[in-house]
């Protein structure tokens, strides 16, 4: 493993912070970039394109939803295998040594200093940017609704997944339940609460860190990635989900 130069830092990208809507979208697994000083972590091209490296389709969907909803969007600059922005820095999955059935060579036996360098270069700038945007809106008297956008693989450990649209909550379930109800009413998607993961799997770190302390309405969305694999599918899914989110947010914030 390269040791990270102290000056390296990968800022989160913040799109449209001045959007007129109440929603702030977050995409922690937006990127499959493997920049220096880490490089490809010993992974093949195929592995770096697979779901272990990022959430395929999630950023495109988040951008299409942001456009329709007037939402802001904060998204990751590098692969989750370099630093998973949705895990605490001391979590085993923060710099996973293994993901699903794949060993990650560049993440074997990381030293504490290597973990610290990645935390300071990637995790802290991302959460600082998101925190600044959350607090900007709070200070202006327009608290955001925080929604994280993820995708999941249709086959995991060899088993196919039937769910198409999962809505996951942490301590506050109001928005998640409203989104499920609106999706059941407005779409034919196979929608489920707390599938394919739940807070018990430690997948709600961003919600706990950025939404719960400020009592923001919040939810985590998971789309099956075969449904958002092409630009056309992404636009169609955004057309389907934007009214779902708009109705749920209006209900919860009423």
Binding stretches for its own copies (CB under 8 A): 88-90, 112-113, 115-116, 118-120, 123-124, 127-128, 131-132, 135-136, 138-141, 143, 205, 208-209, 212-215
Rounded least distance, CB 66 to its own copies, Å: 22
Using alpha carbons, select from 246, 218, 252, 15 the residue that is nearest to residue 133.
15
Indicate the residue among 136 and 174 with the shorter CB distance to its own copies.
Answer: 136
Indicate the residue among 126 and 152 with the shorter CB distance to its own copies.
Answer: 126
Find where tokens 């630093």 sit.
Answer: 83
State the Cα–Cα distance between residues 23 and 21, nearest whole angstrom: 6
Cβ-Cβ contacts under 8 Å for 90 (sequence gap 6 or more): none
Rounded least distance, CB 200 to its own copies, Å: 14
Using alpha carbons only, what angle is made at residue 14 by residues 199 and 248, rounded to the nearest 5 degrees? 50
Indicate the residue among 97 and 135 with the shorter CB distance to its own copies.
Answer: 135
Indicate the residue among 50 and 124 with the shorter CB distance to its own copies.
Answer: 124
Rounded least distance, CB 9 to its own copies, Å: 12
Rounded least distance, CB 212 to its own copies, Å: 7
Indicate the residue among 28 and 164 with the shorter CB distance to its own copies.
Answer: 28
Rounded least distance, CB 162 to its own copies, Å: 32
User: Cβ-count burial of 20 within 10 angstroms (0-12 exposed, 13-18 middle, 19+ buried)?
Assistant: exposed
Half-sphere exposure of 28 (CA within 13 A, CB side): 27
């Amino acid at each position: 493993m390269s040791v990270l130069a102290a000056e390296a830092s990968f800022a989160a990208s913040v799109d449209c912070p001045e959007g007129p809507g109440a929603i702030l979208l977050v995409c922690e697994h937006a990127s499959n970039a493997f920049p220096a000083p880490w490089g490809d972590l010993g992974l093949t091209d195929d592995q770096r394109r697979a779901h272990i490296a990022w959430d395929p389709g999630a950023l495109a969907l988040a951008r299409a939803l942001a456009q329709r909803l007037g939402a802001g969007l904060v998204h990751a600059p590098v692969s989750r295998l370099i630093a998973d922005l949705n895990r605490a820095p001391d979590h085993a999955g923060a710099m996973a040594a293994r993901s699903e059935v794949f060993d990650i060579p560049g993440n074997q036996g990381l030293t504490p200093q290597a973990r610290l360098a990645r935390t300071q270069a990637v995790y802290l700038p991302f959460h600082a940017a998101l925190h600044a945007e959350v607090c900007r809106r709070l200070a202006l008297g327009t608290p955001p609704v925080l929604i994280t956008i993820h995708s999941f693989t249709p086959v995991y450990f060899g088993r196919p997944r039937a769910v198409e649209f999962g809505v996951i909550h942490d301590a506050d379930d109001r928005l998640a339940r409203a989104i499920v109800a609106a999706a059941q009413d407005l779409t034919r998607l196979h929608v489920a609460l707390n599938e394919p993961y739940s807070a018990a799997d430690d997948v709600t770190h961003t919600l706990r860190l950025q939404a719960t302390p400020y009592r923001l309405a919040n939810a985590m969305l998971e789309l099956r990635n075969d449904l958002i694999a092409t630009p056309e599918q992404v636009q169609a899914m955004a057309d389907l989900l934007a009214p779902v989110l708009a109705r749920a947010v209006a209900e919860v914030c009423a």
